[in-house]
Structure 1
């Protein structure tokens, strides 16, 4: 069982760590989590300061005790945050669900002044958002996430850029952060231009993003833009072009809402359920046991024994976790090849050009490649199986993060005990657009979201498989972790039987001379027509 931690409620910010469950024999570890208590007094002080810039607006808010001269039905008798949430929820749906103060590039005071005069034009909303457009806002028990974009025509005050598409900016604020073993964690450099506003701000480029991490009101926030740490290109956003946009975003952040929540007195990581009875067929190699010589810079895999979440497996059974870039394969691309079956094999730290801090080399695959099982003949009826339309399923209830034409579908989960993302790759973007798999859509666990395909910048760009990965929110932002054990446990629940780990000494390798199927360029920004993805 997991260690229980009692949350002590203090007047100001307090931090509490949830330790991972002790790992009994044949059990998987669970992640360690820190809960941060927001300092709402400090947040109210900042809100008061922002509103006082316009006295007529400040007068509409009861920022102090109730005044006897105010009528009983006057909205000014409601707490200021309740009033503010009531106004901004029309723009940022559910903003009051956030247990952390919501910082957004939104000039609350100017918007309220315009609203007071009846001069609100929905088409002119970006004028109150430093020209940023809202693509997604999602708040829940752990905090909030938002995605904004800056159109190409918004150039005022910014250096010229080569990148020819809108730039997407993400922000997350969370009471919950994961304590990931992270050699690269906590690094970065200060930004002089923002030091007065954000004294502890850290800027760094990591895992394909330029990130700005800071603490405000006792809570971690991270602003990030996916970019390429190289020379600018019209279809690949360079981090040197992204940085001025991120800094403009940071300068525009204001309090837009949120609501204090009482944390539960006890929280413990939930143990991952596994069937007690063994399955006669399902076998897997140990975590970190990647194909020999397949790691970047000659490094091996990482034995991460953590099951990060209890999920529904993303495909139907049977399905197989195996490398798509290393090992022996035949000319045809069928589903019933021996190398695609049991035992499963970890491929998280295989050589790729992606930065992955969890891998010893600093580079890796970011996730796991999964193939569906054999479906050689199309069958109709309740057990229908079309070999070209094997379904991909939502692993949890969650919210979609995805813009049009992007091939990545991210499902985000935000609960009182989890702030986690699951990403799917290689489905056809046109089909995803047609199905409405776009920012803000709610999904239910087990709901079909697409079919296994072979899209990589273009149709037939890779073998037919699903790339699946997991990201956790940390003080450095969203970090990729190995989903191998998470998938094993999910597959066991799907088939109703426990798998058997096969040691490396018991199984001879069936690989030929390792070879990557194509030279992959570095990860690119999500705004490009052809978004590069892990293989």
Structure 2
């Protein structure tokens, strides 16, 4: 017995040893694997964005659709509901028959609506529309079913969600407060599976909307980055309705946010289920190191992200250091070289109206901005303007809200000059505009109304929901070239030329302003495009750029004290020194 017990004890000890050994080994392997898969970002490493995904509750959407359809008895027979049985987590469009049926009704009006993986909410009363159609009504005018809003200026659904733009004409908004603004009001709505994980100190702020609290309990109103926004979550999905406006006094040609708000609330009150298609659940998208060329380009250099010209930030703030490549884009100017830098705080710049010293508007005359000691010349063609290294100016001083900048104000994007400056004659100090083509950075859909100075490019793919804005191209030329709502473009397709339009031709230097917006629970927000542009430029030139570090100023030469000529070499001076 003793021998048997001893053997068993040895076996137990041996077993415990190997169990412990294997357990520790597994921990080591797990730790190693985790280290390989989840390494923290190295300093200065370009990375893709981190994106969270939501999971729509389609059963709740179907329940709401049933309530809406039941309000019109003539429409009920066109729909087949599941009788309240909760569908499984994974399903196809056929599992929820009513959703495909509403797609059939609305797809002739909103083309591609079935492509949306989230329930599509639009100010369209599909039940009333179908009831009128079944009753034999003719001339079914869309504004009747859209609370007075025009037919959608743009509707785009894709693998990540949907975006739409509607207009409400002046005078079409009966039973609403009178409006000073005389132009149609543009309302945008976006819903997305994808939420970009950015550091946003203002996220989730806003005030409740009492008049809509019953219909949308978590609805909040906030004015951010030039838009009044109404954000809410429905069916587990973030929706944001927004109108571009100024938080100021109303004018006939300038929409105030106070006048915009009743229009947005009218829009939200009219929202109904209009379509979509359930998809299999998806998972969050982790950030990873962005690919870059291995070989270095011989010429391309850039200053670090966030390093703006000294004291050029709003109230002295610095730049926003962001190493994120938000999208793998094609560079927005067709050909290299191109030069990303400041327009206001470099040569010929107006220092953003913060004051200039020794300024005389004569070509070649020196001056500087009051904010710093950087020496400038009054010549847009100055060599420094058209030279490397690049420099970030995302948080340069402007009167624009930018949540990513330290004081909440900044430039919103990045300025880019084309390859060279052509002058009309030797005495000219301005560059000739409209010579260098601008191209679509991705395949997508344009968002722009006629006469607008800005053009947006919307990209909606499985792993991206992002917008790019182009500015300072001539609006008349954009109109003539068909750069308007809903036009589909391919990557690299020409959409304009670099120009100098800002409220008028010649209102700024000859450059392209380019920026990036990503979707969040507060809607579309500006993010620093600088590293995204560096990455795209490296692909354009076929080589990696070198980060340029400003060399420290040279130390002044040491002045060695010499003995006074009237004293002997061994004299003791005051203080006891020799």
Query: Is the structural similarity TM-score above 0.5?
Result: yes
3-state SS in 2 of match to 1:231: coil
Shift of 1:78: 8.4
Give the corresponding residue for 2:305: 287
Shift of 1:86: 1.3
- Residue 378 of structure 2 corresponds to residue 331 of structure 1: yes
Aligned runs of 1:170-181 on 2, under 5 Å?
Answer: 170-181=188-199
Give the corresponding residue for 1:126: 143
Selected match of 2:545 from 499, 504, 524: 499
Kindly tell me: are residues 25 and 362 of structure 1, through their superposed partners in 2, closer, same or farther at Cα, counting changes over 3 Å?
closer
3-state SS in 1 of match to 2:298: strand
Kindly tell me: are residues 448 and 33 of structure 1, through their superposed partners in 2, closer, same or farther at Cα, counting changes over 3 Å?
same
- Residue 344 of structure 2 corresponds to residue 322 of structure 1: no
Higher fraction of helix: 2
Can you list the C-alpha shifts for 1:17-53, whole angstroms capped at 9, x where unaligned?
A: xx99843466302211110010000000000000011
Q: Check the 8 A contact 2:81/2:96 in 1, yes or no.
A: no
Shift of 1:263: 3.6
Give the corresponding residue for 2:371: none
Give the corresponding residue for 1:458: 504
2: CA distance, partners of 1:253 / 1:435: 34
Give the corresponding residue for 1:523: none
Selected match of 1:304 from 310, 314, 322: 322
Can you list the C-alpha shifts for 1:298-337, whole angstroms capped at 9, x where unaligned?
A: 1111111111111000012000000001134443333x62
Q: Check the 8 A contact 1:144/1:174 in 2, yes or no.
A: yes
Kindly tell me: are residues 162 and 140 of structure 1, through their superposed partners in 2, closer, same or farther at Cα, counting changes over 3 Å?
same
Selected match of 1:199 from 210, 217, 221: 217
2: CA distance, partners of 1:91 / 1:328: 51
- Residue 489 of structure 2 corresponds to residue 443 of structure 1: yes
For structure 2, the residue ranges without an aligned partner over 5 or more in a row are 1-36, 84-93, 349-376, 425-431, 555-578
RMSD of aligned residue pairs (Cα, Å): 2.2
Q: Check the 8 A contact 1:302/1:360 in 2, yes or no.
A: yes
How many residue pairs get aligned? The number is: 472
Selected match of 1:64 from 78, 82, 92: 82
Moved more, 206-215 or 50-59: 50-59
- Residue 513 of structure 2 corresponds to residue 467 of structure 1: yes
Shift of 1:58: 1.2
3-state SS in 1 of match to 2:201: coil
Can you list the C-alpha shifts for 1:260-284, whole angstroms capped at 9, x where unaligned?
A: 0114568555653311001121111
Moved more, 82-91 or 463-472: 82-91
3-state SS in 2 of match to 1:449: strand
- Residue 194 of structure 2 corresponds to residue 159 of structure 1: no
2: CA distance, partners of 1:135 / 1:339: 39
2: CA distance, partners of 1:77 / 1:36: 20
Q: Check the 8 A contact 1:20/1:31 in 2, yes or no.
A: no
2: CA distance, partners of 1:472 / 1:21: 25
- Residue 479 of structure 2 corresponds to residue 433 of structure 1: yes
Q: Check the 8 A contact 1:20/1:30 in 2, yes or no.
A: no
2: CA distance, partners of 1:86 / 1:270: 40
2: CA distance, partners of 1:238 / 1:376: 40
Aligned runs of 1:397-416 on 2, under 5 Å?
Answer: 397-416=443-462
Q: Which structure's relative contact order is higher, taking Cα pairs within 8 Å and 6+ residues apart?
A: 1
TM-score, normalised by the number of residues in structure 2: 0.78
2: CA distance, partners of 1:253 / 1:34: 25
Q: Check the 8 A contact 1:469/1:482 in 2, yes or no.
A: yes
Q: Check the 8 A contact 1:409/1:423 in 2, yes or no.
A: yes
- Residue 243 of structure 2 corresponds to residue 238 of structure 1: no
Give the corresponding residue for 2:129: 111
TM-score, normalised by the number of residues in structure 1: 0.85
Give the corresponding residue for 1:487: 533
For structure 1, the residue ranges without an aligned partner over 5 or more in a row are 1-18, 66-75, 379-385, 509-535
Selected match of 2:390 from 336, 339, 344: 344
2: CA distance, partners of 1:113 / 1:78: 21
Moved more, 22-31 or 298-307: 22-31
- Residue 366 of structure 2 corresponds to residue 366 of structure 1: no
Q: Check the 8 A contact 1:393/1:449 in 2, yes or no.
A: yes
2: CA distance, partners of 1:78 / 1:189: 36
Kindly tell me: are residues 281 and 265 of structure 1, through their superposed partners in 2, closer, same or farther at Cα, counting changes over 3 Å?
same
2: CA distance, partners of 1:244 / 1:446: 40
Aligned runs of 1:202-241 on 2, under 5 Å?
Answer: 202-241=220-259
2: CA distance, partners of 1:223 / 1:21: 38
Give the corresponding residue for 1:248: 266
Give the corresponding residue for 1:86: 104
3-state SS in 1 of match to 2:262: helix
Q: Check the 8 A contact 1:285/1:343 in 2, yes or no.
A: yes
2: CA distance, partners of 1:310 / 1:242: 35
3-state SS in 1 of match to 2:515: strand
2: CA distance, partners of 1:313 / 1:167: 33
Larger radius of gyration: 2
Shift of 1:431: 0.9
Moved more, 469-478 or 431-440: 431-440
Q: Check the 8 A contact 2:395/2:410 in 1, yes or no.
A: yes
Can you list the C-alpha shifts for 1:242-270, whole angstroms capped at 9, x where unaligned?
A: 00110011100000101101145685556
Shift of 1:387: 7.0
